[in-house]
Amino acid sequence: MRFNNRPVRGIVLSTLFNGRIINVGIAQFRTAEAPDALNTTLGSCVGIVLYNPRKRHGGIAHILLAKQPGGRIVNRAKYANTAIPELCRELGRSGSPVDEYRARIFGGASMFGDGSDTFIQRIGQENVAATRQALAEQGVTVIAEDVGGTVGRSITLFLDDGRVLLRKNGKEKYIYKV
């Protein structure tokens, strides 16, 4: 291993790390395997982390909305009810059944408005509810969550051991539950 100081969205990540940091944008999902890491930044969007400790393989979906409106879907990664099945299919191509993956959910903050009960204020809550439902439909167990509130967060999934670095409110903590 070598020691790297890699900038991650303005924050320096100092750790023994031997892989690439792959950024996951809004309405995208990515999969990777150890030694790489996946990173995304969330507000009212939800980041779904799936990880298989046996394979040291996982993915992140960064969903923007709970469900697609009527009509043709241009980007299946944009919505919880379409992105999660797509992510599970992609991870299944590694040869592991989806029930070997464990989920962690992040984001879903109420980032907009004045606290009134409007569609904009409820986007985060609706994203979290749709994410839980889609994961249950896929048979994936949710083992940890950091959702809601009024502040955004950034997450990095390290595929060597499944830990997630959560950055929120200027603080960092590692979540080791896999």
d(CA 130, CA 58): 21
3-175 CATH fold? 60s Ribosomal Protein L30; Chain: A; (3.30.1330)
Helix (H, G, I), strand (E, B) or coil at 129: helix
**Could you tell me the residue ranges of all domains in the chain?**
3-175
pLDDT at 78: 95
Largest Cα–Cα separation, the chain:
51
Beta strands 102-107 and 28-33: pairing type?
A: unpaired
Full-model pTM: 0.86
Output the pLDDT for position 3: 39
pLDDT at residue 60 in the model:
98
Task: Please report the pLDDT score of residue 168 as a whole number.
Answer: 96
User: What averages of pLDDT result for each successive group of 10 residues across the chain (178 residues)?
Assistant: 46 67 97 97 96 96 90 86 96 90 95 66 91 96 95 96 95 88
Per-residue pLDDT at 11: 47
What DSSP designation does 140 have?
P
